[in-house]
Structure 1
Amino acid sequence: MGATNVVGGGVVGLASALALARAGHSVTLLEPDSARTAASWGNAGHIATEQVAPLASPAAIRSAPRRLFVRGGALDLPLGQLANWLPFALRLVGRSTPSRFAAGSAALGSLLQEAMPAWERLAATIDAPELLTQDGHLVLWESPETARAGRAAWTAADTGTATFRVADAAELTAIARVTQAPVAGAIRFAGSGQIRDLSVLAGALEEAFLRAGGRIVRARAQLRIIDGVALVPGHPAELVLVAAGIGSRALMEATGHAAPMIAERGYHIRAAADRWPADLPPLVFEDRSMIVTRYGDRVQAASFVELSSPDAPPDPRKWERLEAHVRALGLPITGPFRRWMGSRPTLPDYLPAIGRSPRANNLLYAFGHQHLGLTLAPITAELVAALVTGERPPVDLAPFDLARF
């Protein structure tokens, strides 16, 4: 099989590069960032099989005003970034009709039902099954009103292969050990999971890729289409896969494709996990739109949906609010905190783009996974491999074709 360039070394790009290398391709992975600052390596580590409903929905549009950052919520639309987020927001509203939401839920659900089995296969492939846990997660509310509304919303939601029940006495006791806040209600999900350590995952994927004959080049790639053939100047190859997260927009638009993606920026703080239980699954404080996860000897609190440019300076108020949440909840997390901000690559319908370019038959793409990049990376890699080999993919890829824009 011929030479292949994979542009992008986040979790989707790495998993896809590994799948192609194991299929016999001579794969070069082009990724300039050796510090692993992308969203792939700073997210909540949650395998979110329950998040079947795209955020492009009538409910999300209705609730947006009360979820704004200026009102204490997690959604921020910075006025200084109006030119970036307004066109995206208008497209989002157009993709949030009931019929489009139903179609989007069906499409996303078809991917998510394959997500955990694909993770099991990938974890075994990289000889790191211990990185994947399938212990579910906990969701809690701090007031009776939000507990009733939250339980009702989850009961009405399509959670795919994930299920939930009311938290039992032992689980409530475990929650009480880490927060001084009142817990008016909590539920325990089953069928979701967690990656124990994202840094270890990144290293394991890279090592497995190199063992499979792959090559990593720390360089920024450009993309051109000449006479119907996709080229990465300076890196000749017969096949090109664009899986560069938020950077995929510029690459694809340079070749005439529409990729109306925005940087949906999230923030986290991390500190030593000296007093955080090692066996506690991810804990979601839904009233605060915050998830707390333990990674090895560190514990992380993450939140926020900030629609912006990926290159805009971070907003320190987000970190300050996370630290205020930690104090208000009485969580056993103390500084000094390490602060991080990353850009989730999000398309207006909250579906990823996975497919083959009509402009160049040798150009494939896999990006735009919004909050679900970690969750969907292994199944996306398997779909990319199927596209390349001509096998029938296990999921209908029509809803993820970039031509929909």
Structure 2
Amino acid sequence: MGVIGIVGGGVVGLCAGLDLLEAGHRVVLVDDDAHAHAASWGNAGHIAVEQVEPLASMDMVRTLPSRLFVRGGPLAFPPGAMAQWVPFGLSLLAAARPSRFRAGCEAMRPLMAEALPAWAVRVERIGAPELLHTQGHFVLWHGDEAARTGRAAWDAAETGTAQVHPATSDEIARLSALCREPIAGAVRFSGTAQISDLGDLRAVLRRAFVEGGGTLMEAKAELALIDGRARIAGLDADRVLVCAGVRSRAIMEGLGHVVPMIAERGYHIRAQVRESDWPADLPPVVFEDRAMIVTRYRDTLQAASFVELGHPDAPADPRKWERLERHVAQLGLPVSGPFTRWMGCRPTLPDYLPAIGRSTKANNLFYAFGHQHLGLTLAPITARLVAAMIGGTPPVIPLAPFDIARFAKELTT
């Protein structure tokens, strides 16, 4: 049995490597992110199975002006990145048509339904069940109108296996104790989850991969198409799996695929926190009228926000961190600096569906990328699907909607 070379050591690549090892394959994972800068290790830690509806929707298009960063919202279109976000936006408009949106919901529904069960299996297999907290999450509002419209929107939304409940008086009191500004309303989700610490998750996944017989190759992967097969420079791999997040676009386009993916850049700030300031057992809290999610990790508190459509290598915008710090101060949250600052790139395709499948350009090439906000959520179920494909067994979920060839077809219709 030949070697499977995985390109990308984020959460999707590591989970895929573990599933492939457990299926009896020899696996080498090629990754150049030694300092864990990838979006996998800087996100909100939220297993967001409630997000069944793709963000490419007419509702999102209609409300876009109110979401702009210049109007206090989370959405930014940097002028210097017009070459990236104009074509992406045009493709998104096409994907937001009601028929495409409904098809996206149909595709995402079974994927999201299997996401949390797959996480439960994965943390058990790596001997770290404590990493997965399944107590749901909160969404709250400070403005009366925001609370009314926010609750109505979640009541009407398709949330799959997650359920929305009005927050109890005790829960409202607990949340109110964390904020100086009075809370106008809150809901609690059940059926969602959190990873307790992303740094711990990365360490445990990497250790399990190596102990399971996998090889970590610290290098930048260079791929080429030779005699109809994908080849990784310096590695004799029989099959290749691309899981390189936002870097997957250049790799796949170099092999002949159409990949209209953009770097959807998010920002966070973190600071040390004491148990007495923010309880360790409190699940993630979404301050929806500020488009901010606050997560307690092992010994830090993180506030995250923003959707900045641009180039992955462009400098970070300090205004995003400054606004997050203002939100924290204005709300009176029990955390203060010094804050560490992070910016990372979510790999996002215009229809907000991932790309999972087998290449039509190279007969030994497979791929799993473009998970946008849901990379952490979908990593273990994506790994299961990929392992089935490579092993030649039918996947438990239909993969046709996630075929990257869908974008090449758009160009010819």
Amino acid at match of 2:207: E
Deviation, structure 1 residue 234: 1.3
Task: Return the match for 1:293 from 292, 295, 304.
Answer: 295
- Helix, strand or coil: the match of 1:5? strand
In structure 1, stretches of 5+ residues that fail to align are: none
Local SS of the residue matching 2:347: strand
SS at match of 1:332: coil
Note the alpha carbon deviations across 1:197-231, whole angstroms, 9 max, x for none.
Answer: 00000000001100111000110011111121111
User: What corresponds to 1:170 in structure 2?
Assistant: 170
Aligned counterparts of 2:186 and 2:73: Cα–Cα separation in 1: 20
Query: Aligned residue for 1:344?
Result: 346
Among candidates 295, 303, 306, match of residue 305 of structure 2: 303
TM-score calculated relative to the size of structure 1: 0.99
Residue of structure 2 equivalent to 1:375? 377
2:85 matched to which residue of 1? 85
Once the two structures are TM-superposed, the CA of residue 361 in structure 1 deviates from its matched residue by 1.7
When normalised by structure 2's length, the TM-score is 0.97
**Within the alignment, does 1:20 sit opposite 2:20 as a pair?**
yes
SS in 2 for 1:91: helix
Structure 1 residue 77: Cα displacement: 0.4
Corresponding letter in the other structure for 1:152: A
- Structure 2 unaligned spans of 5+: 408-413
Q: What is the CA–CA distance in structure 2 between the aligned matches of 1:186 and 1:350, rounded to whole Å? A: 27
Q: Aligned AA for 1:365?
A: Y
Aligned residue in 1 for 2:333: 331
Q: Is the CA contact 1:49–1:159 (under 8 Å) kept in the aligned structure 2? A: yes
**Deviation (angstroms), 1:319:** 0.2
Residues 284-317 of structure 1 show CA distances to partners (whole Å, capped at 9, x for unaligned) of 0000000000000100000000001000000000
Q: Does the CA-based 8 Å contact 1:266-1:306 persist in structure 2?
A: yes
- Equivalent runs, 1:244-323 vs 2, <5 Å: 244-274=244-274, 275-323=277-325
Say whether 1:362 aligns with 2:354: no
Letter in 2 for 1:386: A
Instruction: Give the whole-Å Cα distance in 2 for the aligned partners of 1:23 and 1:8.
Output: 20
- For the aligned residue pairs, the C-alpha RMSD in angstroms reads 0.6
Letter of the 2:31 partner, please give it. E
What amino acid does structure 2 have at the position aligned with 1:231? R
Deviation at 1:256, TM superposition (A): 0.5
Query: Partners in 1 of 2:152 and 2:383 — Cα distance?
Result: 35
Counterpart CA distance in 1 for 2:168 and 2:373 is 29
After superposition, the C-alpha distances for 1:88-136 in whole angstroms (9 at most, x for unaligned) are 0110011100000000011111210000000001001110000001100
Distance 1:392 1:133 in 2: 31
The answer on whether the counterparts of 1:174 and 1:280 sit within 8 Å (CA) in structure 2 is: no
Q: Secondary structure at the match of 2:286?
A: strand
Q: Name the stretch that deviates more: 332-341 or 102-111.
A: 102-111
Partner of residue 410, structure 2: none
Structure 2: how far apart are the matches of 1:181 and 1:8? 43
Question: In structure 1, what is the Cα distance between the partners aligned to 2:347 and 2:110?
Answer: 20
Supply the distance in 2 between the matched residues of 1:205 and 1:379 (Cα, whole angstroms).
Answer: 15
- How far, CA to CA, are the matches of 2:372 and 2:52 in structure 1? 13
Question: In the alignment, residue 338 of structure 2 is paired with which amino acid?
Answer: P
In the TM superposition, what are the counterparts of 1:3-402 in structure 2 within 5 Å? 3-274=3-274, 275-402=277-404
Which deviates further from its counterpart, 172-181 or 196-205? Answer: 172-181
Q: 2: CA distance between counterparts of 1:57 and 1:120?
A: 31
Query: SS of the residue aligned with 2:341?
Result: strand
In the TM superposition, what is the alpha-carbon distance from 1:359 to its structure 2 partner? Answer: 1.4
Structure 1 residues 239-272: Cα deviation after superposition (integer angstroms, max 9, x where no partner): 0000000000000000000111000000000001
The whole-number CA distance in structure 1 between the counterparts of 2:106 and 2:173 is 37
1:144, distance to aligned residue in structure 2 (A): 1.2
Alpha-carbon distance in structure 2 between the residues aligned to 1:345 and 1:308: 11
The residue type equivalent to 1:55 in the other structure is L
**SS of residue paired to 1:323:** helix
Which runs of 4 or more aligned residues in structure 1 lie more than 4 Å from their structure 2 counterparts after TM superposition?
none
> C-alpha deviations, 1:325-344, integer Å up to 9, x for none?
00010000110000000000
Report SS of the residue matched to 2:237: coil
The answer to whether the aligner puts 1:404 opposite 2:372 as a matched pair is no
Partner-residue secondary structure (3-state), 1:104? helix
